Amino acid sequence: MKVGCIQMYVAYSDVERNFATAERLIREAAVKGAQIIVLPELWNTSFALKEIATLADVEGTRTKAFLCKLAKELAVHIVGGSVATKKGEHFYNTMYTVNKDGELVGDYDKVHLFRLMDEHLYLTAGDRVNRFTLGEVEAGGVICYDTRFPEWLRTHALQGADVLFIPAQWPTTRVDHWQILLQARAIENQCFVIAVNRLSHKKENFNGHSMIIGPWGEILWTGGDEEELAIVDVDFSAVAEVRTRIPVYNDRRPALYGEVVRVDSH
């Protein structure tokens, strides 16, 4: 299946410009044969958290309509990265996924909020697993900082995900962590990882390096540090072979994996 990764410049707080960029690149990806199209994190607003009260998509109405319309028109699945939303009185970092029939199949609020960028001061954390199906592909989706919590991604794999989609706004200063963590998540879960990172016009902030990684941990594609639309052919059936050759899921001992509360030493 051909996957289109949209590594786009996200303009700070310029919602109209970002919607226009996303539509242009989604349409281009469809013309180039993409069957699944993936966007980055918070592509509608960037990290304009201080302005979120005026910028957030209320109930996700605009984003859902936008993604559903394009998916149905172009007959493509869209993993809609994530957008800033307002639901009731709270604000969220929300990932919408739409199938090629224009149906919403995934609605996920980022579970782990990144305190170093004050997300917890502006956003409410989600509390639900994000499992969905795109055609015959069993998938899961998490957002950026969620990647640092292997137990959370394993939860999605245990529920049947053969691919994990990870939209992100991962900073340039820790891009080495990004690459290593993504490979580790692919290897330990024996699944594909499709991770799309944003760009900023100041490359010292966010510099792309999106990745598609196979279930052996092999890098199938990595983006550069410019706006890029990559179309990559992904054979999702490879997951079954890997899990058969090294059957780690059969050898798990979950009874021993109880939650351990860390005790800080003084």
From the candidates 5, 68, 144, 191, give the one annotated as an active-site residue.
144
Of residues 246, 259, 119, the one with CA closest to residue 191 = 246
Question: What does R_g of the chain's alpha carbons equal in angstroms?
Answer: 18
From the candidates 5, 41, 138, 191, give the one annotated as an active-site residue.
41
Tokens coding 5: 């990764």
In the chain, the amino acid numbered 3 is V
- For this structure, is 110 an active site residue? yes
| Residue 83 φ/ψ region, left for φ over 0, alpha for ψ in the -120 to 50 degree band, beta for the rest | beta
Distance in angstroms (rounded) separating the CA atoms of residues 113 and 12: 20
Distance in angstroms (rounded) separating the CA atoms of residues 144 and 110: 9
Residue 256 is classified by DSSP as: G
| Residue 225 φ/ψ region, left for φ over 0, alpha for ψ in the -120 to 50 degree band, beta for the rest | alpha
- For this structure, is 144 an active site residue? yes
3-state secondary structure of 43: coil
- For this structure, is 191 an active site residue? no
From the candidates 64, 86, 110, 138, give the one annotated as an active-site residue.
110
Q: Which residues are catalytic?
A: 41, 110, 144
